[in-house]
Structure 1
């Protein structure tokens, strides 16, 4: 028997023109069940005595969720659950997840990706991602900002900062800020073939790294490693957090300036991203990081 919120969702999808099969796929219900409730229309399900006086908890927030997803289709269900809990929702996350999945525009099925794990302290992955925003201190001016992110492969701990450029000096400075923040240095760092890190290949196909990056690597004691051409997915542990940051943090927020953007990002990393139970490792990220941190190489002494 479907609950009231799910009934509203089925009828809403039907009004949008989705077929019974498509609605069944989105809701996880049998097509016969979906067809039955479409035919029944707004006639409410018959609840037993235990259900009397207990309306579905998500119903008062359906319009808000639909409005948010319509304006920002990529907002995560986790983010939306936090938002409606601030407005009084005390129901389950799974109810929000199912409703949002049903009303979100259909995405193409993503190919299966094989995950790989690395020992504690061994690997970090680094990349830049492009974001576009408008700071409230300068209304009407669209700016491109770059998100530098370092993700520890074992614990999935994220260090991230927004910067105005992705040039070599910014890349090197972000490395040093990241090492200082995590309190150590991994054995190797994986990059895609960003021009600031990789300058090309020699005649035998060996990677040629930027000399300044090699000097930084020698000083801090890590080994740079570039992922294979056209295989940026091997850097998935840093690619996936970019989407996570965009959907759970960046969208539907306003920022006064770059400093405010980074202050809000630091707070979100501390209270949300690095405080969450990671879906793959099934460990709290900050707790896994605390266990991984002693395995990092120590920072070199300041001369």
Structure 2
């Protein structure tokens, strides 16, 4: 079974999204039955992990969902602890703090394993923000660096910019396409305001900026937003 197809199906399972087998099959150039088999395996793997996790009793039983939702919303471990104590939790603060740390690491791992190393499939885009350097005369200059990476070849395209406006992003992407000789099927973006409409998005669901979506459709790539 192809790893990239399995990981994509694993992402769908984790996000509780029912995939379109035919659409995914066209994207990865495989048979729809292969996609379905990968999806069923990802479901089975998740179920076995959940059962193993729930086989051991913990003082956090019944509070995990509350902790994860509030931590994802930006609450501190201490505020979450105080909240669940009011709900009847009788464990120690260190248990909650350790659970939040494990949850954060799990979310980070999910965000970093999504892009698969399949030739021609994907690229990653990020800004290295607010870089400040001082010239020989002691004058400071602040700028940003546009970074475009092809995971399969590890090829990197970088461009120094004086702003992070949407038009600048489009120009940098166009130059990256020219430098790499093509456009990948999908591009992963950091949670930048020129790409994601933050007012209409939350931790689990991203809404792309309409102008950016039009650009991606015209260019012919599928945008994917990384979790913050």
**TM-score, normalization by structure 1:** 0.35
- Identify the structure with bigger relative contact order (alpha carbons < 8 Å, sequence gap 6+): 1
TM-score when normalising by structure 2: 0.46
Higher CA-based Rg: 1
